[in-house]
Amino acid sequence: MCKSEGTLAMKEEDAPKELSPSSHSSFDCAFQPDRLLRIHNSCIFLISLSLLSQALKLSLSNSQALSLKLSLSLSSSQTLSLSLSNSLKLSNSLTLSSSLSLSSSLSLSLSLSLSL
C-alpha cells in the first residue's frame, strides 16, 4: 500500500478533499494535538484521539480507490466497541463496501454492499 512520510497536524476539515500524487507538500497549520494527518502520494492517514470520549479513530484512504476506517471506543458504561469499515472503488460505476462492528456486550454486526 502506501508508506507515510512526514507528519502534519491539522483539523480534519482543513484536509484537502482530493490529492494527486504530485500534491505531496508541506502545509502551515496550527498544532492540534488530537489530530495527526500524514500525507504521501495521495494516501491520507488520519489519526484522531479524543480523551473526553475515550475513542481512537484511524482512517486510511487513497483518493484513487481505497478507504479504510478503524474506530475503537470505550463508553462511560465501560463498553468497549471496535468498528472497521472499508470501501473499494473497482471501477467508475462499481464500489464494494463492507463494515464490521464488535462490542464487549457480545454483539457482532457485519455488512457488505455492492454499489453500481
Task: Report the chain's mean pLDDT, rounded to a whole number.
Answer: 60
Please report, for the chain, the start and end positions of each structural domain, with discontinuous segments joined by +.
31-115
The x, y and z cell numbers of residue 67, run together, are: 478507504
Specify the pLDDT at position 46. Answer: 58
d(CA 73, CA 31): 24
Instruction: Provide the pLDDT confidence category of residue 112 given band limits of 50, 70 and 90.
Output: confident
Specify the pLDDT at position 64. Answer: 63
Specify the pLDDT at position 14. Answer: 44
| pLDDT tens digits for range 40-87 | 444 555 555 555 556 666 666 666 677 777 777 777 677 778 888 888
Q: Mean pLDDT over residues 1-21, rounded?
A: 41
Q: Mean pLDDT over residues 19-47, rounded?
A: 44
Specify the pLDDT at position 3. Answer: 40
DSSP class of residue 14?
G
Burial 47-72 (b: 16+ CB within 10 A, else e): bbeeeeeeeebebbbbbeeebebbbe
**CB neighbours of 1 closer than 8 A, spacing ≥ 6?**
43, 60, 62, 66
pTM (two decimals): 0.44
To the nearest whole percent, how much of the chain has pLDDT over 70?
A: 41
> Would the pLDDT of 99 be above 80?
yes
DSSP class of residue 77?
T
d(CA 76, CA 63): 35
